[in-house]
Amino acid sequence: MYIHFIAVGGAIMHQLAIALQNKGYKITGSDDEITDPAKTNLAKKDLLPPSFGWFPEKITKEIDAVILGMHAKGDNPEILRAKELGIPVYSFPEYIYEASKNKQRIVVAGSHGKTTTTSMIMHVLRDRKIDFDYLVGAKVEGFDLSVKISDAPVIILEGDEYPASVLEKRPKIHFYHPHVSVLTGIAWDHVNVFPTYEFYKEQFAIYLRDMQPESTLIYNAEDKEVVSLVLDEAKHLKQMPYATPSFKVEQDAVTLDTTDGKVSLQIFGGHNLQNMEAARKVCNSLGVTDVAFYQSIRSFTGAARRLEKINEREGFIAYRDFAHAPSKLNATLKAVRERYPDHYLIACFELHTFSSLSEQFLSQYKNCMDACDKPAVFYSAHALALKGLPALNPDEIKENFDNATLTVFNQKDALQQWIAESIQNAPKPVCLLLMSSGTFDGMGFEF
């Protein structure tokens, strides 16, 4: 099998290229720009294109399929050449479905908690020595790649609602056709694609309607938007609700009482315990008992950038989190405050996604930073320019967050200095929380 990747430098695209090469396929690719870590990862496998750019002469009749990344435009000369030659062109999710038609497909969908829930399932299945394929949106400890395609009978898919490709505007989740699905929650996101909440929610309604009768839906019974959708759209499905289990926050760990005794966990936060319940039900459906699940989940430390501990010393601890939507900020701040009630909580949030940088969406963040002692919001002119958005007014940002103690920064050096001074002048032990789907414009995280 010979597959060519257009926009091979994407975060998940390059990993799929490597995974298929590992399977024995012939792989080539193109992109107009490739940066690390994709650049280094591709080079190690001799998959880095010798020159950056689009080269229609690369597209020949010997190619069996072309996989198209989000970065490529509709008039890409390689796409046009592939169509001219009649070569099948797949978006990423279309190809994943084609590669998993004969597998049991388990999809984790929803506005938040997808990566963590998927990672938990992967961790437990690996620990129980169950063979499976997977697709996940972050680095997970113990796994070399974020995607694996083999002859395994089961595939675990993190289901993103973002459009499949420049040619296919339907959400990725609409292509996976799961036998079992988790629905974690619904909260408006991706306003550049879904300009109203109703349009956004409708994508999940379509997803549920398209599931085959008697497929299983594992859904968050504590999310009223999910519950309303299930009532309207999931009558043809086997329904399995889940909710946050009872837990205790103790000195060194979070514990929960189970029918088989007390279980200590390395994760914390009600939202993560909720994710764990969804993962438990998925694992149950694959034959993993509760006893086995709890034995395995004890060692789960989290996915990359999901409440990831990045520094710790006497009187100081720092976490980095991917939180960017209002619901995620609220859940993350609540979790950290609950875990460290006696610490001085300094929280910094970067406006980085298209939604968070959009003036019409800013009001959704009202009171989101109220749980911390010293809050800051950062944005960069560079991120605005990349997304083609107008300049933001710092006063309007502060007004929308509705927090009198909030400080707004648009220069990373000033933010870094503010963090250092805030740590130094804190009246008690400090917990620093950095929340972003970006990098704070390349700011260092050593404090």
Q: Which residue has the tokens 């879904």?
A: 194
Q: Please give the Cα distance from 447 to 444 (Å, whole number).
A: 8
Q: Please give the Cα distance from 112 to 294 (Å, whole number).
A: 23
Q: Please give the Cα distance from 384 to 63 (Å, whole number).
A: 39
Q: Please give the Cα distance from 114 to 182 (Å, whole number).
A: 9
Distances (CA, A) of 278 to 53, 59, 61, 191, 272: 43, 43, 45, 27, 10
Tally the residues of the chain.
447
Q: Which residue has the tokens 């099998």?
A: 1
pLDDT averages per 10-residue partition of the chain, 447 residues: 95 94 96 91 96 95 94 89 96 94 97 94 97 93 92 96 82 96 92 88 97 97 97 97 91 82 89 96 97 95 84 93 86 90 94 82 90 94 84 91 93 94 94 91 78
Q: Could you tell me if 432 and 319 are in contact, meaning their C-beta atoms sit under 8 angstroms apart?
A: yes
Model pLDDT for residues 82-96, shown as the tens digit of each residue: 999 999 999 999 999
Q: Which residue has the tokens 């984790």?
A: 108
pLDDT of residue 31: 95
Strands of the sheet containing 147-148, edge to edge, are 147-148, 133-135, 154-158, 104-109, 180-183, 216-220, 238-242
pLDDT of residue 163: 85
pLDDT of residue 358: 82
Q: Which residues pair with 171 in a beta bridge?
A: 163
Tokens of 150: 């083999």
pLDDT of residue 383: 85
C-beta neighbour count of 33 within 10 angstroms: 11
Q: Please give the Cα distance from 384 to 381 (Å, whole number).
A: 5
pLDDT of residue 307: 86
Q: Please give the Cα distance from 287 to 378 (Å, whole number).
A: 46
pLDDT of residue 303: 80
Tokens of 62: 């010997």
Give the residue ranges of DSSP H helices in 151-269. 197-210, 224-233
**First-to-last C-alpha distance (Å) of the chain:** 49
Q: Could you tell me if 89 and 68 are in contact, meaning their C-beta atoms sit under 8 angstroms apart?
A: yes
Q: Show the CA angle centred on residue 406, arms to residues 271 and 351, nearest 5°.
A: 60
Model pLDDT for residues 110-153, shown as the tens digit of each residue: 999 999 999 999 999 999 999 999 999 888 888 989 999 999 99
Can you list the domains of the chain with their CATH numbers?
2-87 (3.40.50.720), 95-297 (3.40.1190.10), 308-442 (3.90.190.20)
Q: Please give the Cα distance from 205 to 311 (Å, whole number).
A: 42
pLDDT of residue 354: 78
pLDDT of residue 427: 92
pLDDT of residue 253: 78
pLDDT of residue 165: 79
Going by their DSSP bridges, the two strands 254-258 and 261-265 should be labelled as antiparallel
